[in-house]
Amino acid sequence: MNLWGKAGLLVLAGVVIAALVVAGPAARENLTTPVYHYDVVHTYPHDRFAFTEGLVYTNGVLIEGTGLRGNSTLRRVNLSTGEVMQERPLGDEYFGEGVTVFGNRTIELTEDSGRGFIFNSTTFAPEGNFTYPTEG
């Protein structure tokens, strides 16, 4: 948990609620959810048939993990052109999920097989795998 534990958090929540009740409706009306906006400043080409599940931008390229059982891959993609520069299939039995790059290793999880894969970040050569008890 944290330093206070569950009991401390309950006490803190009670104090906040009591303060709002005592402060009255005017104070509660000032509690609003912030609304954020965005502007699209640029778009990039991308394979329309790639079901992106994991994405990392590193060293000027995208490392992309795609999903769909039988079509899951680990890819190196040129951001500017959308060209797939390197690709490694995961295997027909896997649905690829999230990816991360850690040093010279790229790790990709799978959706529901409880298996993750470790690849060399440069060559995409397999360097190992591991299991975990949850979904990717």
Query: Domain check: are 106 and 57 in the same one?
Result: yes
Query: Domain check: are 57 and 120 in the same one?
Result: yes
Domain extent for 25: 1-37
The three-state secondary structure class of 66 is strand
Look up residue 56 and give its two tokens: 């990392």
- Asked whether residue 80 is domain-assigned, the answer is yes
pLDDT value for 20: 66
d(CA 73, CA 114): 17
pLDDT value for 37: 95
Query: Domain check: are 62 and 108 in the same one?
Result: yes
Instruction: State the total domains in the chain.
Output: 2
Q: By C-alpha distance, which of 110, 128, 111 is closest to 120?
A: 128
Could you read off the pLDDT of 85-135 as tens digits, one per residue? 999 999 999 999 999 999 999 999 999 899 999 999 999 999 999 999 988
pLDDT value for 136: 73
Could you read off the pLDDT of 5-29 as tens digits, one per residue? 666 666 666 666 766 666 666 655 6
Query: Domain check: are 13 and 80 in the same one?
Result: no
Q: In 3-133, which residue ranges form alpha helices assigned H by DSSP? A: 5-23, 25-29
Query: Domain check: are 69 and 127 in the same one?
Result: yes
